[in-house]
Amino acid sequence: MAKNYHILKITFLGTGTSQGIPIIGSDHPVCKSSNPKDKRLRVSVLIEWNDFNYVIDCGPDFRYQMLRSGCTKIDAIIFTHEHSDHVMGLDDIRPFYFKQGDISIFAHKRVLKSLKKRFDYIFATKNRYPGAPSVHVNRIKNKPFKLNDLEVVPIKGKHADLQVFGFRFLDFAYLTDMKTVSDKEIEKLKGVKILVVNALRTQPHHSHFNLEEALGFIEQVKPEKAYLTHISHLLGFHDEVEKTLPNHVFLAYDGLQLTL
């Protein structure tokens, strides 16, 4: 059977906030939930296009996410920003490196500087440890770039005062850890069919959209469908929250797959 090319397949590897859900030692009811949709690893998505696999962010759960998804090849990792819940799985690219060679990474220059400090042995050019992985570095600016002929459009936003990137792939856009996005950047999102955006909780937060802000942002962009991610236990139970959302807005959950 011929394979369908030029179709995006998106797998949510993780949809939780920086501590994940359940939080260690927490007695919060959501952390005690038996519903698998209330158990959330740190945020990341796998995007499959043609025979290429791209991952956005590789946090502390990256190893398990790769095992759970069955992913055996990575063509690139794209970073939104340098916070630990988005980068601390970088060492676990080793099995991919041993099979494939250098792994391509794409990040803002500030993020690359942070990665080189935290994972100096990965970026070393002399006296390299034999078991260390190696990467092919690509610096992102706020302009479109190509991943194997797939155009990616960065969407610049602010996570409190920290610049972060979201990304548009064809008619799919993924934004996390956003608090403010300028009208100019929102224009880049017009026409998307599927929008993913962070919604931490119902109460306001200094560096993340809360639920009200996320829904307002979705209303500005006007996608056909929207999915909420980077969710904390304070947002509530998955099934209860989803009942309150507009008909075209859904809570993402770990393992959810979309095609476009």
Q: Is there a domain that residue 151 lies in?
A: yes
**What's the pLDDT score for residue 6?**
72
Average pLDDT over residues 186-195: 98
Q: Is there a domain that residue 2 lies in?
A: no
Q: Is there a domain that residue 23 lies in?
A: yes
- pTM here is 0.96
Judge whether residue 1 has pLDDT over 50: no
**What would the pLDDT profile of 97-131 be if each residue is shown by its tens digit?**
999 999 999 999 999 999 999 999 999 988 889 89
- Looking at the chain, the whole-number percentage of residues with pLDDT higher than 90 is 95
Question: What is the total count of domains within the chain?
Answer: 1
Q: Is there a domain that residue 116 lies in?
A: yes
Q: Is there a domain that residue 232 lies in?
A: yes
Q: Is there a domain that residue 93 lies in?
A: yes
**What's the pLDDT score for residue 232?**
98
CATH number at residue 32: 3.60.15.10
**What would the pLDDT profile of 28-54 be if each residue is shown by its tens digit?**
999 999 999 999 999 999 999 999 999
Q: Is there a domain that residue 1 lies in?
A: no
Expressed as residue numbers, the domain containing 191 is 8-259
Q: Is there a domain that residue 64 lies in?
A: yes
> CA-CA distance, 223 to 172, in Å (whole number)?
9
